[in-house]
Amino acid sequence: MDLGLKGKCAVVTGASRGIGLAVADVLAAEGADLALVARDVEALAAAVESVGRRGTKVVAIPTDTTDDAAVAAMAERVRTEFGAADVLVNCAAPASTGVRTPLDDLRDEDLRTEIETKVLGYLRCARALAPGMRERGWGRIVNVSGLNARLAGSTFGSIRNVAVAAMTKNLADELGPQGITVTVVHPGYTVTERTPEKFAEIARARGVSVAELESGLAAGVSIGRLVTAAEVADVVAFLASARSVAINGDAVAVGGGVPGQIYY
C-alpha cells in the first residue's frame, strides 16, 4: 500500500531514540523528508545519520519542547528547510519508570515536569506547526501517549496520558474541517534500546528477576509478547498518511492487546 508520504515533510519530536527514532525511520522509508527534534545533540546527530540512509532529506533541530521560544525557533527552521510541515508526530516525553509511586512520595514538581513536556510540549508543537498545514489544506498530527491512560498503576503517567488524549480530541474537532486530522496512539511496554536497563530497574523495584518480569509482562499482552518500537512506528506511519483520513480524534492502542478488556 502506498501511504502517499513521498515528498511530505514530517517533524518528529523525541526522535533521537526509542519510538520517536523508529517512527522517523519508517516515515523516511516511505519517502518523507524529516525534521528530527530532540534535546540531546549527540544522540540527534546519530539519529540523522541512521535515518539518512533512507535517502530522503533529514535535518536535526535540537529543541527543548518545554520552552516556547525554542519551539517557535524550531517551527521557523522547519519553514526555512521545508516550507511547512505536513506531518507532526509528538513523541518527546519524560521516560516512564514503570514503578508505582505511593501517594506520600508523589511530588508536585514531578507532575509539572510531566505536563510541561508531554502535554504542553505537544500543544506547543501543534500550535507552532498547524498554521502551515492550514495553508496547505492538509496535515496529520499524531500524539504518542500510552496505555497508562487506560490503566491504573502510575498516577502521573495516567494523568499526563489522559490529558494528551483529551487534547487530541479537542484539536481534531477544530482542525478536522481544515484537512488536518489529529490522533493519539497508546503504546504499552515497548521494546526499545533502553529495554534492558529499564527492565532491570523495574525488576529490582518489584523484587523479581528480569526473566520473571518479562514473562509476567508478556502474559498481560494478547499476542503473548511485547510490541517493538518498529511495530508501533508502522501504525503511526499509517496514521500520518493520506490513507488514514477516516480516523480523527480517536485513540489507537498499540500495545499488542490487553486480555479481557473490551473498548467500544
**Total domains present in the chain:** 1
With residue 62 as reference, give the H or E element that holds it: strand 58-62
What is residue 91's predicted lDDT score, i.e. its pLDDT?
97
Please state which of the ranges 4-8, 117-121, 159-163, 258-262 shows the lowest mean pLDDT. Answer: 258-262
**In-domain check, residue 2:** no
What is residue 101's predicted lDDT score, i.e. its pLDDT?
83
**In-domain check, residue 263:** no
**In-domain check, residue 14:** yes
The C-alpha atoms of residue 14 and residue 152 are separated, in whole angstroms, by 25
The C-alpha atoms of residue 158 and residue 160 are separated, in whole angstroms, by 6
Beta strands in 157-211 (DSSP E): 180-186, 190-191
Residue pointed to by grid coordinates 520473571: 212
- Grid cell in block for residue 151: 490503566
Contacts of 39 (CB under 8 A, 6+ apart): 16, 62, 63, 64, 92
Tens digit of pLDDT for each residue in 217-244?
999 999 999 999 999 999 999 999 999 9
Could you give the angle at which helices 68-82 and 120-136 cross, rounded to 10 degrees? 30
What is residue 80's predicted lDDT score, i.e. its pLDDT?
97
What is residue 125's predicted lDDT score, i.e. its pLDDT?
98
- Grid cell in block for residue 251: 485513540
CATH number at residue 24: 3.40.50.720
The CA–CA distances, whole Å, from 211 to 207, 214, 217 equal: 12, 5, 10
pTM, whole model, 2 decimals?
0.95
φ and ψ at 103, to 5 degrees?
-50, -45
**In-domain check, residue 25:** yes
Contacts of 177 (CB under 8 A, 6+ apart): none
**In-domain check, residue 259:** no
Contacts of 257 (CB under 8 A, 6+ apart): 221, 222, 223
**In-domain check, residue 116:** yes
Tens digit of pLDDT for each residue in 161-185?
999 999 999 999 999 999 999 999 9
**In-domain check, residue 260:** no
| Mean pLDDT, range 205-221, rounded to an integer | 91
**In-domain check, residue 64:** yes
Q: pLDDT tier at 98 (50, 70, 90 boundaries)? A: low
Full domain range(s) for residue 217 = 9-253
DSSP calls for 80-111: HHHSS-SEEEE---PPP------GGG--HHHH
The CB density around residue 208, as the number of other CB atoms within 10 Å, is 14
